[in-house]
Amino acid sequence: MNEFKGRSDFCGHEEAVDEERKLLTNFLARKELDVVIWQDKFMRLIGPIFCHFLFGDPVASEIINVYMRIMQKQSFEHGFEIYCMDTIVQDEVVTKLQEFGKRRMVHRNDYGAFLAKMTSFTMGKLQELSENVFRRCRYIIFPMNDRWHWFLLVYKRDEGMFKLWNSMHSLFAVGTTRVYTKFLAGAICHLSGFDIVSEPVLREPCRQQGDPRLWCLYMHLVGVSSP
């Protein structure tokens, strides 16, 4: 990990302008480079994520993925089955939905064309969400991001619905989870013919971090950039 984490000394970094960084990021994120660069027991790096390490950007999403994989592995070993979706799937889907249209909605006849724009990794993970997964696993967890804050969208098999755990409530996060669950329901039906209930998304009570505006102000005052 030390070979990759927070790298900012790669050749030419000192002279790299924003446009050059953008070109490198786009190059690494190309579908042809959507391959595993490095992996171990709990973690793997692919092209789109590797660029974050090159530029020293936060690696919070991969840290979350590590915890998700550990939790999923332990749950399988003890018969309390949990399925965890990789963070990059939510990020890619939400980003492409925002580019797709103002309402961030995909109509039933458009799913084929929309899914064709996904990277092979995201498509593979979405195809894993079969009827068997929804019937076998007690919880299906989708870590999501609201700019710099992470929260959890969870499908509970026993109740047959999605629930939201967010320690810093925001209407944007609620809206994003509703948009995402509608997309999931349509995508899963398109891919496997299995129907899931996407509404309503219910907020579960959990301990709150405080007013997000105050936290953002604090970060600004101390000069800390958002992850």
Query: Beta strand 161-165 with 139-146: parallel, antiparallel or unpaired?
Result: unpaired
pTM above 0.75, yes or no: no
Domain ranges of the chain: 1-57, 60-222
Supply φ then ψ for residue 177, to 5 degrees.
-65, -35
pLDDT for position 187:
93
CATH of 60-222, one of 3.30.310.130, 2.40.50.140, 2.60.40.1290, 3.60.110.10: 3.30.310.130
Kindly state the average pLDDT of the residues 208-222.
57
User: 26: phi > 0 → left, psi -120 to 50 → alpha, else beta; which?
Assistant: alpha
| pLDDT: which is higher, 20 or 71 | 71
pLDDT of 155-214, one tens digit each? 999 899 999 998 887 888 888 999 999 999 999 999 988 888 887 888 888 877 765 555
Nearest of 112, 104, 184 to residue 142 by alpha carbon: 184
First to last CA, the chain: 19
pLDDT of 89-128, one tens digit each? 999 999 899 887 667 888 888 899 999 989 888 999 999 9
Q: Which residues contact 165 (CB under 8 A, 6 or more apart)?
A: 151, 152, 154, 204, 206
pLDDT for position 190:
92
pLDDT of 43-61, one tens digit each? 666 666 665 555 554 456 7
Among residues of the chain, what percentage have pLDDT more than 90?
A: 25
Supply φ then ψ for residue 7, to 5 degrees.
-60, 130
pLDDT for position 185:
92
